Structure formats: structure tokens, C-alpha cells
């Protein structure tokens, strides 16, 4: 991805996060897009950055490996994500997000 302004980067993150919440992309696909398009890093470089093997990173991005909490934290933390629980119901998620904005 070419040099983006801070607001363009923020919008990219919002679009990808929204796609994840809607079930349009998986966690692995989100990770791959952020690593390759947002950070412009190879799998080797990102794996070294987060302290896992390139093979493990590839398996996570390809949704071929079940991710444990430790791995999820390692791979998503540098991208500004924290691991947590979200409701499966889009209605509940939307309502909770709206309530959080109003607080």
C-alpha cells in the first residue's frame, strides 16, 4: 500500500475491522491484509517482529491453524488490536458499540 495519511490508515483499519465483524473476512485474512497492505511487510519480516516462525504465520493467515490466545496476542498486538470477546449477533454488537460511544 502506498504512503497513506493518518486518516486514510484509520479508515483502512475501520473497513477491515467492519468486514471482520460482519463475517466477510476471517482473522487470518485480516492479519494478512494488515501485514502486507498496511505495513508492507513480508511474512519473514513480520514473523521475526512478532516472534513466531514464518510457517506458523503462514498457517494463521491461511486459516489452517487454530490460533491460541498467546499467538493471537503476538500477531495482532503490533497492529493495534487487543484480544477480547465480541458478541456473535450483529444486532448486539451494533447496539453495544452505539452504547459505548454514548458513554
Per-residue pLDDT tens digits for 65-85 = 777 888 888 999 999 888 888
Give the relative orientation of helices 69-76 and 43-50 as an angle to the nearest 10 degrees.
110
DSSP code per residue over 29-49: HHHHHIIIIIS---HHHHHHH
**How many other C-beta atoms can be found within 10 angstroms of the C-beta atom of residue 20?**
17
For residue 83, the model assigns a pLDDT of 85
Q: What is the pLDDT tens value at each position of the chain, 103 positions in all?
A: 567 788 998 999 999 998 988 889 999 999 999 999 989 999 999 999 999 999 999 999 999 877 788 888 899 999 988 888 878 787 887 888 888 877 6
Q: What is the pTM of this model?
A: 0.80
Domains along the sequence of the chain with CATH: 6-102 (1.10.260.40)
SS3 53: coil
Q: What is the pLDDT of residue 9?
A: 87
Whole-angstrom distance, CA of residue 45 vs CA of residue 73: 17
Amino acid at each position: 500500500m502506498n504512503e497513506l495519511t493518518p486518516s486514510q490508515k484509520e479508515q483502512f483499519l475501520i473497513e477491515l475491522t467492519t468486514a471482520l465483524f460482519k463475517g466477510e473476512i476471517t482473522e487470518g485474512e485480516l492479519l494478512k491484509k494488515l501485514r502486507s497492505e498496511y505495513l508492507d511487510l513480508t511474512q519473514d519480516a513480520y514473523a521475526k517482529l512478532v516472534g513466531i516462525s514464518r510457517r506458523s504465520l503462514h498457517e494463521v493467515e491461511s486459516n489452517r491453524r487454530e490460533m491460541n490466545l498467546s499467538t493471537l496476542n503476538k500477531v495482532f498486538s503490533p497492529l493495534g488490536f487487543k484480544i477480547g470477546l465480541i458478541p456473535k449477533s450483529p444486532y448486539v454488537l451494533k447496539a453495544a458499540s452505539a452504547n459505548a460511544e454514548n458513554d
